[in-house]
């Protein structure tokens, strides 16, 4: 997991605003060394209020290439990530002055890293989902270049992936698109490569738990002992997180911000609307 310095976190807590997500004219996502199944760290849904997960295990292998050049990505299901995503959102809001943090908006979920990289989970009524975003916050592209990149990232994908263009504004610069069909995640090799570079904390209990402790302790604690227990409880609670559970994470939690943080966590409830 990416290590972030104490100085970086303290800076983010007090002064860091959201960096503009832009893109680059020559920013074609790099090619991934071809492999049949790609593994992204996950834990099958622990630390979540839901138990669903990708149908493949976190250490699977074998020929999982699919039609259209799509590759299976072993990442937990959206429901399995819900509790972690909600808890992370609440803790960052309660511990910092960043008003443009991770959040749930009208059924979709947004992950905003404190240094700029981002991801958006576009959720459908039937349980399907698209995860799109960019690991590089300093990319600049014009609209023509962005359209070209988007077409390349969904080439050969199922038709329902086309909803991406209506769900995300054309001003968003995208480096990866992954699709959840209700059973598995899939994406083209360039998407998987860019997603790998994103420090996406909701992907696992370990990654998310370390962040909850870091923000809650003002970067003084570690994900062990009582701090780990408090973080795990927050992730299990997810959308039902309480003020007591949030404050138990440490002195980094600002009492005046707790109410808003709990409201933000609860916004992750419900189904998708697309």
Asked whether the predicted pLDDT for residue 129 surpasses 70, the reply is: yes
**H helix runs in the chain, sequence order:** 6-14, 78-95, 143-153, 164-167, 189-196, 205-216, 225-237, 243-247, 255-266
State residue 114's pLDDT score.
83
Q: Which of 45-54, 65-74, 119-128, 146-155 has the highest mean pLDDT?
A: 119-128
- pTM of the entire predicted model: 0.77
pLDDT band at 4, cuts 50/70/90? very low
Asked whether the predicted pLDDT for residue 6 surpasses 60, the reply is: no
CB burial of residue 39 (10 Å; 0-12, 13-18, 19+): middle
Asked whether the predicted pLDDT for residue 7 surpasses 80, the reply is: no
Under a CB-based contact definition with an 8 Å cutoff, are residues 48 and 85 in contact? no
Asked whether the predicted pLDDT for residue 230 surpasses 80, the reply is: yes
Asked whether the predicted pLDDT for residue 226 surpasses 80, the reply is: yes
* Residues 11-49: tens digit of each pLDDT: 343 333 333 333 333 344 433 222 233 444 455 443 443
Going from N- to C-terminal start, the domains of the chain cover 6-266
State residue 190's pLDDT score.
87
State residue 137's pLDDT score.
83
């Amino acid at each position: 997991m990416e290590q972030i310095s104490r100085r970086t976190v303290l800076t983010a807590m007090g002064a860091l605003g959201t960096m503009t997500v832009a893109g680059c004219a020559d920013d074609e996502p790099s090619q991934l060394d071809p492999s049949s199944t790609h593994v992204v760290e996950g834990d099958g849904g622990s630390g979540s209020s839901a138990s669903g997960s990708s149908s493949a295990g976190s250490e699977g292998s074998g020929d999982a290439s699919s039609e259209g050049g799509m590759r299976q990505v072993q990442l937990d299901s959206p429901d399995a990530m819900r509790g972690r995503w909600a808890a992370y959102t609440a803790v960052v809001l309660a511990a910092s002055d960043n008003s443009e943090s991770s959040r749930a908006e009208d059924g979709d979920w947004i992950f905003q890293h404190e240094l700029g990289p981002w991801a958006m989970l576009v959720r459908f009524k039937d349980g399907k989902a698209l995860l799109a975003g960019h690991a590089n916050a300093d990319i600049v592209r014009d609209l023509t270049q962005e359209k070209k990149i988007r077409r390349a990232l969904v080439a050969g994908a199922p038709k329902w992936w086309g909803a991406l263009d209506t769900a995300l504004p054309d001003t968003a610069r995208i480096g990866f698109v992954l699709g959840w069909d209700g059973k598995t995640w899939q994406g083209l090799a360039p998407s998987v490569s860019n997603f790998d570079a994103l420090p996406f904390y909701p992907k696992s209990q370990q990654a998310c738990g370390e962040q909850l402790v870091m923000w809650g302790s003002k970067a003084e604690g570690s994900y062990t002992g009582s701090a780990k227990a408090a973080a795990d409880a927050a992730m299990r609670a997810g959308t039902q997180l309480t003020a007591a559970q949030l404050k138990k994470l440490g002195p980094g939690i600002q009492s005046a911000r707790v109410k808003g943080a709990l409201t933000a966590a609860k916004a992750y409830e419900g189904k998708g609307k697309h």
